C-alpha cells in the first residue's frame, strides 16, 4: 500500500507511533517532526554519546569483530583473524593494455563471473582535464566520451588464486564518484560535477550517469550519457527491480542537494543496453518533498535527530532536468522540496533504498556527522536508521563521522566507508543502528607531525559474501578483505 500525505498523517494520529516498517536497519520508534538543535548534541536515546553511534547499554552481545590491530605494513588495520590483499594499485599494477592503473579509486560494485571469477567495476574520481593527473583513465579507442576528461571506470577481474586483470570500461568522463549496480548486471557510474562544455577545459557537458557492462566490452562502445536521469552533481543511483524506478542522490551545497526519483515512460522495460536508447526527456524526473506525522513540511533531513524518525514522501517534478540555465536543485524554492547536505552513497536492499547524508553544518538546520536513511517505495516513507552525532575530535580513533559509500551486508545491517575528518574507517551498522569498526586506513599521506588519511571508498561484498572489497582513494588502492565474517546482532 502506498501512503499519501493525508493517509500518512491519519495513520500516525491513530497509532501515536508512526508507521511500523519492516526490513533493513532499524527498530522503529515514533516519527517526530523538526526537533530542537539541542537534541542533536545527544544520542538518539537521550544519553550523551561520543559522536559515533555506539550503543553503550550492553544489551545482548556486542556487534562487530573486536578491536582493530595495527598493520605492520602501515596500510590497513583489521580485527584479529582478518587479512587483506592488494588487488590494484595506481601507478604500480597495470591494465591489459600495459598502462598503469588509474588513480583516485571510488565507487565500486562486484559481479559474479564464470568459474569463481569476480568482476568489479571501479570508478576513478578524476576531475577536469587529463593534464592535471599523473594516472588518468587511459583513452581506449571506442570507449571515450570526452577526450580531454580524466575520469572513467576500469573493470577488474579477480580469480580465486589471486590472479587479476584490469581493463577500461569507460573513459573521458569526469569526477566519477559513486554509482550503483543494476539487477541485470551492469554498473551505473555517476559524474559528481555540473561542468559544462568550455568549463575547466572540458569539451562536452558533464554531470550525467553512464552505464558500464562488465561482461561485454563491445556494449560499452560509443558511450552515451543517460540524460533522462538529469544533469547535476550525481553521487549514487539504485534501480528498483520491481517498479523500474531509479533513485539518485545529489552531493551538492549552496543550496543543499536533493534526493531524486526517475519514473520510466509507460511500457519501458529495463535490461542490458536499454537505458542508452532512452530519449533525453524520457520518463519523469522528480525531487523529494517530505512531511512529518502531523503533515508538516520538512525542509531538510537534518531535522531528524532520533533513530526511527519516519517522514512521508511526496515527489515534485523537475522543470529542466538538463539544467540548461539553472542547476536542477536551484529550480526549486526551499519551501517546495526537502534538501540534505552531502547526499552520498546509496544501495538497494530489503525492498528499498538505503542512502547517506554525510554530515550537516552551518548551512543545515541541525548539525550532525552522518545519517543513513531507508526509503520504502511501497509506503513512500523515509526512516532514519543510523545517526552519528558531531564528532568532537576526529583525530582520535574510536568515533565515526562522514559516512560515504554504503553496501548492504550479507551478515546483517550495512557496511559504510568513511570520508570524514581525521582517521578514516570502514564500519558496520547493525539493524538497530549500533556501529562497530571493521578497518582503519593507516596509510599516512601527510607527515608524522601533520598526518593525513585518505577516504575509504567503494565498499562492496563479493557475490559469495566471503570477501569485502574497499578502496583507499589516494593514491588509489583496491583491497580484498577476508576473515571470520559472522551474523551481526539485530537488537539492542
318-337 confidence digits (pLDDT tens): 999 999 999 999 999 999 99
Give the pLDDT band (50/70/90) at residue 60: low
Q: Which residues pair with 352 in a beta bridge?
A: 349
Residue 229 pLDDT > 50, yes or no? yes
Smallest CA-to-CA distance from 471 within 77, 80, 88 is with 88
Give the pLDDT band (50/70/90) at residue 287: very high
Least confident residue range of 128-137, 362-371, 462-471: 362-371
130, 149 in Cβ contact below 8 A? Answer: yes
List the grid coordinates of 193: 560535477
Smallest CA-to-CA distance from 223 within 195, 191, 183 is with 191
Smallest CA-to-CA distance from 437 within 179, 62, 65, 181 is with 65
The CATH superfamily holding the domain 5-482 is TolB, C-terminal domain (2.120.10.30)
Least confident residue range of 35-39, 72-76, 245-249, 452-456: 35-39
- Average pLDDT score, the chain: 88
Give me the mean pLDDT over the 231-247 stretch: 98
Q: Can you give the pLDDT at residue 392?
A: 73
**In degrees, to the nearest 5, what angle opens at C-alpha 344 toward C-alphas 153 and 465?**
65
Smallest CA-to-CA distance from 472 within 434, 425, 432 is with 425
440 contacts: CB under 8 Å, gap ≥ 6: 68, 76, 77, 397, 423, 424, 425, 426
**In degrees, to the nearest 5, what angle opens at C-alpha 476 toward C-alphas 160 and 212?**
70
Residue 38 pLDDT > 70, yes or no? no
So where are the chain's domains? 5-482
90-119 confidence digits (pLDDT tens): 999 999 999 999 999 999 999 999 999 999
371-388 confidence digits (pLDDT tens): 999 999 999 999 999 998
Q: Can you give the pLDDT at residue 364?
A: 72
Give the pLDDT band (50/70/90) at residue 134: very high
Residue 31 pLDDT > 80, yes or no? no
Long-range residue pairs from 39-45, CB within 8 A, at least 24 positions apart, any chain: 39/305, 39/306, 40/305, 40/366, 40/367, 40/368, 40/389, 40/390, 41/389, 41/390, 42/389, 43/389, 44/305, 44/306, 44/307, 44/308, 44/387, 44/433
Residue 29 pLDDT > 80, yes or no? no
Q: What are phi and psi of 352, to 5 degrees?
A: -160, -170
Q: Can you give the pLDDT at residue 491?
A: 61
Give me the mean pLDDT over the 247-267 stretch: 97
The radius of gyration of the chain from alpha carbons, rounded to an integer in Å, stands at 21
Residue 74 pLDDT > 50, yes or no? yes
Smallest CA-to-CA distance from 149 within 206, 111, 94, 234 is with 206
Q: What are phi and psi of 358, to 5 degrees?
A: -70, -40
145, 225 in Cβ contact below 8 A? Answer: yes
Give me the mean pLDDT over the 251-276 stretch: 96
Per the listing, cell 588464486 goes with 161
- Sort residue 65 into left (φ over 0), alpha (ψ -120 to 50) or beta: alpha
137, 102 in Cβ contact below 8 A? Answer: yes
Residue 1 pLDDT > 90, yes or no? no
Give the pLDDT band (50/70/90) at residue 396: confident
Residue 205 pLDDT > 80, yes or no? yes
Question: 117-140 burial, b if ≥16 CB within 10 A, otherwise e?
Answer: ebbbbbbbbbbbbbeebebbbbbb
pTM of the model: 0.88
Residue 54 pLDDT > 80, yes or no? no
Q: For residue 433, give the DSSP letter.
A: S
**In degrees, to the nearest 5, what angle opens at C-alpha 193 toward C-alphas 187 and 198?**
120
452, 444 in Cβ contact below 8 A? Answer: yes
Give the C-alpha separation, 306 to 202, whole Å. Answer: 44
Q: Can you give the pLDDT at residue 248?
A: 99
Q: What are phi and psi of 460, to 5 degrees?
A: -165, 140
Amino acid at each position: 500500500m502506498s501512503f499519501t500525505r493525508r493517509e500518512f498523517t491519519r495513520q500516525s494520529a491513530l497509532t501515536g507511533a508512526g508507521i511500523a516498517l519492516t526490513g533493513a536497519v532499524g527498530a522503529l520508534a515514533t516519527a517526530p517532526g523538526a526537533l530542537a538543535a539541542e537534541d542533536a548534541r545527544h544520542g538518539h536515546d537521550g544519553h550523551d554519546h561520543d559522536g559515533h553511534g555506539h550503543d553503550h547499554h550492553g544489551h545482548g552481545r556486542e556487534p562487530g569483530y573486536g578491536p582493530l590491530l595495527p598493520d605492520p605494513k602501515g596500510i590497513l588495520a583489521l580485527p584479529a583473524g582478518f587479512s587483506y590483499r592488494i588487488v590494484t594499485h595506481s601507478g604500480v599494477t597495470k591494465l591489459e593494455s600495459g598502462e598503469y592503473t588509474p588513480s583516485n579509486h571510488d565507487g565500486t560494485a562486484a559481479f559474479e563471473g564464470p568459474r569463481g571469477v569476480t568482476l568489479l567495476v571501479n570508478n576513478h574520481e578524476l576531475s577536469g582535464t587529463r593534464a592535471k593527473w599523473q594516472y588518468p583513465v587511459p583513452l581506449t579507442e571506442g570507449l571515450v566520451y570526452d577526450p580531454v576528461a580524466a575520469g572513467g571506470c576500469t573493470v577488474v577481474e579477480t580469480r580465486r588464486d589471486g590472479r587479476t586483470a584490469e581493463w577500461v570500461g569507460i573513459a573521458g568522463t569526469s569526477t566519477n564518484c559513486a554509482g550503483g549496480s543494476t539487477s541485470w548486471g551492469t554498473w551505473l557510474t555517476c559524474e559528481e560535477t555540473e561542468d559544462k562544455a568550455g568549463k575547466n577545459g572540458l569539451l562536452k557537458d558533464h554531470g550525467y550517469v553512464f552505464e558500464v557492462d562488465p561482461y561485454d566490452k563491445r556494449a560499452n562502445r560509443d558511450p552515451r550519457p543517460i540524460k533522462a536521469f538529469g544533469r547535476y552533481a550525481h553521487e549514487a543511483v539504485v534501480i528498483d527491480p520491481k517498479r523500474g524506478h531509479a533513485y539518485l542522490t545529489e552531493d551538492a551545497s549552496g543550496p543543499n542537494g536533493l534526493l531524486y526519483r526517475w519514473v520510466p515512460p509507460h511500457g519501458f522495460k529495463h535490461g542490458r543496453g536499454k537505458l542508452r536508447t532512452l530519449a533525453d526527456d524520457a520518463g519523469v524526473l522528480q525531487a523529494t518533498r517530505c512531511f512529518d506525522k502531523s503533515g508538516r513540511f520538512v525542509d531538510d533531513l537534518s531535522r531528524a535527530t532520533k533513530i526511527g524518525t519516519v517522514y512521508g514522501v511526496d515527489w515534485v517534478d523537475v522543470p529542466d532536468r538538463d539544467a540548461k540555465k539553472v542547476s536542477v536543485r536551484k529550480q526549486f524554492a526551499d519551501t517546495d522540496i526537502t534538501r540534505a547536505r552531502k547526499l552520498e552513497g546509496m544501495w538497494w536492499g530489503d525492498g528499498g533504498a538505503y542512502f547517506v547524508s554525510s554530515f550537516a553544518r552551518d548551512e543545515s538546520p541541525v548539525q550532525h556527522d552522518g545519517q543513513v536513511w531507508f526509503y520504502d517505495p511501497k509506503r513512500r516513507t523515509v526512516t532514519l536508521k543510523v545517526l552519528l552525532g558531531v564528532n568532537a575530535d576526529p583525530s582520535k580513533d574510536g568515533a565515526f563521522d562522514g559516512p560515504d559509500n554504503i553496501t548492504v551486508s550479507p551478515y546483517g545491517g550495512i557496511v559504510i566507508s568513511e570520508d570524514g575528518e581525521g582517521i578514516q574507517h570502514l564500519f558496520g551498522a547493525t539493524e538497530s543502528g549500533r556501529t562497530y569498526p571493521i578497518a582503519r586506513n593507516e596509510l599516512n599521506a601527510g607527515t608524522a607531525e601533520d598526518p593525513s588519511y585518505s577516504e575509504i571508498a567503494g565498499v562492496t561484498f563479493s557475490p559469495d559474501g566471503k570477501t569485502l572489497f574497499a578502496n583507499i582513494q589516494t593514491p588509489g588502492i583496491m583491497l580484498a578483505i577476508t576473515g571470520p565474517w559472522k551474523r551481526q546482532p539485530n537488537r539492542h
